[in-house]
Chains A and B, each alone.
Chain A
Amino acid sequence: MTAAVAKSTAHSIVEASPRARAVAGSLVILYAVITILPLLWIVATAFKSQSDAIAYPPKVLFEPTLEGYVNLFTVRTRQTPDFIAKLPPPETWYDKLVRQRDMVIAGPSKVVPRFVNSLIIGFGSTFLAVFLGTLAAYAFSRFRIPLADDLLFFILSTRMMPPVAVAIPIYLMYRQLNLTDTRLGMILLYTAVNVSLAVWLLKGFIDEIPREYEEAALVDGYTRLQALRKVVLPQAVTGIAATAIFCLIFSWNEYAFAVLLTSGEAQTMPPFIPFIIGEGGQDWPAVAAATTLFVVPIVLFTVLLRKHLLRGITFGAVRK
């Protein structure tokens, strides 16, 4: 019996042949390289000097420096060597680094408040969109709502054109309401865009949860809201995580509205990063440093929720 199996040349239906596995493996590696390479390049550029960053042919090996990060976090002014010589000795390593280039630090740059804006607006709108989306999706999934299909289509239709198409009306509306350049305004805007996605995604997930669970809870003494909180939500957690990631990615990366509607107070990272100007043009190492820091939260968030995301996007694909 075992000998027969060993000799058999038939394909196994569950195990891939070595060749198929090699092809699949190299495809995955190729894809990983293609997607990770730009990211690595950005991370590396952040540690290059101004001249190394724009060198041609591009430099793969270089002497790392923290100049990019220092430039990102500070505002500097050029001074004469005489003036610098007269100053008391530098107090910190970054003071020293700046003075080597005949400059002194005039103060902190705006990157920290911009980053905080991004965090507040990104996570705030994600939370709101998922919160509202969950309630709406639950209602659509469980109750007999008049014109439910039309309402759902209407909600989806807000996604049928690029949001920027309505940029000008929104700009005028926001100006009237004094919402331009406010965090609240940006949170509301991103929530409005994301909530349709959230309703549709979450409706699918909640539809998959048998309603018997909450009916059992209702009979056993819970109110509708308690049943939702303690019985439905724990089971919808994968769907909520997946939805939250999609929403966060959108509001975190959003550029067009951020450029149009924010300039000072509420400016987020995307419109801030491209305008990091050094002496004589774009300060590429500082831009790369900002981009690196900008990517970190979303990577962390995705890695943290990875388990849910994996189950989340395949959830409901197979009827159990």
Chain B
Amino acid sequence: MAQIRVENLRKSFDQFTAVQGSNFTIDDGTFFAMLGPSGCGKTTTLRMIAGLELPTEGRILLDSEDVTFRRAAARDIAFVFQLFALYPHMNVADNIGFPLKCQGMGRRQVRERVQETARLLRIEHLLSSKTSKLSGGDRQRVALGRAMVRRPKAFLMDEPLGALDAEFRHLMCGELRDLHDRIGATTVYVTHDQLEAMSMADQIAVMNKGCVEQIGSPQEIYDRPASMFVADFIGSPPMNFLRFESGLRSGDRAVAFHSVSVEVPQICEDRASALLALGIRPEHIRFADAAPVRGEVFGAEYLGTTQIVTVDTAHGRVAARLPSSASVRIGEMVGLEFHSERLALFDVGSGLAIRTANEGSAGHG
């Protein structure tokens, strides 16, 4: 198993820059997810780590060994593809044993290792089947088997659950994480599905337009998004942004939100007056008649245990997550009370979060 380090990695295709100056370190044994919308450069980054794409600039280190321009085969990593890429002209056992055969391992040893891997994945009964006859989940397991059989330094997975249906995806999520824990492998997992990333990863890198916007544990990323993009991308429904114009003083515990004072976590930096955004997660909003920020109920979505109520305020539409027992009438005027310790502040111009006490505690959290 290995530590993976990426230094100033950049990749351009002609005019288009797919990845710009990424830096991160993935520690040995970490389940690392790269999350972002399509076209954000996460797959390109993964392919560069695998050696399927050569970087325009920067370095990739595997256990502090520079592998930037080494052949994919010489890196001792395994890759799991979204479409599984099982060889259609081979059966399951041949597919799993293929990497060992490539290395020139003896036939008997290959058979033993294939058996062992199949047992781990509970697909022993499928070994002699044709890959075309398998269900999506079994194909996924075979693809994993082919990756595991070589006992590589790291697993790279490119949306490995993307081709499965929703119900099965959830099951495979659990299985993948379980497998990761058992073999203790370093895993880099690319996905655009925040639920997959949140539920499986130790560390998440959120990418946007070729840049890594934030790296942190799922909780850090959810609770203390580093930018408006991250705040908007993570969470469903996403974080609400209410824009206002104001200056900030370090040490303040409230901001002047359109002539109303709204309590926020203690601010840690001074700012000249600029366009700011108040970031509020839907679950941090309560209806309170006395609250100064008011709006008209626009609609409600019933979700079982909770409901999402959208409210039109004078400064934008806001989604609130309320218990489904709360009775809400469309068109009703309501007051919105915010959970002040959990609010975030953003500079709209740069899109970056403004440091507050909420963020200051990140190191200990």
Interface set of A (CB-CB < 8 Å, partner B): 144, 210, 212-213, 215-223, 231, 234-235
Contacts and interface: CB of A to CB of B under 8 A. Distances in A.
Given A210-B83, A219-B73, 7 more contacts: A212-B85, A213-B87, A220-B78, A220-B102, A221-B102, A223-B71, A234-B89
B88 interface: yes
Interface in B67-101: 71-73, 75, 77-79, 81-85, 87-89, 98-99
Contacts of A231: 87
Nearest to B13: A144
A136 B221 CA distance: 48
A215 B79 contact: yes
Contacts of A212: 81-85
Contacts of B50: 219
Given A219-B73, A220-B102, A213 B85 contact: yes
Interface string B290-322: 000000000000000000000000000000000
A222 B87 CA distance: 14
23 contacts: A212-B82, A212-B83, A212-B85, A215-B81, A215-B85, A216-B79, A216-B81, A216-B85, A216-B87, A217-B98, A217-B102, A218-B51, A219-B52, A219-B77, A220-B98, A220-B102, A221-B73, A221-B99, A221-B103, A222-B102, A231-B87, A234-B89, A235-B89
Contacts of B87: 213, 216, 231
A218 B89 contact: no
A220 B150 contact: yes
Contact of A218 (B72, B82, B98, B103): B72
Q: Which of A216, A222, A223 has the most CB of B within 10 A?
A: A216
Of all A-B residue pairs in the complex, the 4 with the closest CB atoms, nearest first, are A221-B102, A212-B85, A220-B99, A212-B81
A234 B98 CA distance: 15
Contacts of A216: 79, 81, 85, 87, 146
Contacts of A219: 50-52, 72-73, 75, 77-79
A21 to B, nearest CB: 32
Nearest to A226: B102
Interface of B: 13, 50-52, 71-73, 75, 77-79, 81-85, 87-89, 98-99, 102-103, 146, 150
A222 B52 CA distance: 12
Contacts of A222: 73, 102
Contacts of A223: 71, 73
A222 B81 CA distance: 17
Nearest to A214: B85
Nearest to B158: A212
A169 B75 CA distance: 53
Nearest to B47: A215
A216 B75 CA distance: 13
A232 B82 CA distance: 19
B244 to A, nearest CB: 48
Given A215-B52, A215-B79, A220 B85 contact: no
A129 B75 CA distance: 37
Given A212-B81, A223-B73, A218 B88 contact: no
A236 to B, nearest CB: 11
B106 to A, nearest CB: 15
A215 B46 CA distance: 13
Contacts of B150: 220
A219 B80 CA distance: 10
A157 to B, nearest CB: 25
Nearest to B14: A144
A213 B143 CA distance: 11
Contacts of A220: 73, 78, 98-99, 102, 146, 150
A223 B51 CA distance: 12
B120 to A, nearest CB: 18
A222 B50 CA distance: 14
Contacts of B75: 219
Contacts of B88: 235
A273 B150 CA distance: 62
A79 to B, nearest CB: 64
A213 B52 CA distance: 12
A174 to B, nearest CB: 42
Contacts of B13: 144
Nearest to B149: A220
A216 B52 CA distance: 9
B97 to A, nearest CB: 10
B99 A218 contact: no
Contacts of B81: 212, 215-216
A248 to B, nearest CB: 25
A213 B77 CA distance: 16
A162 to B, nearest CB: 38
A216 B50 CA distance: 10
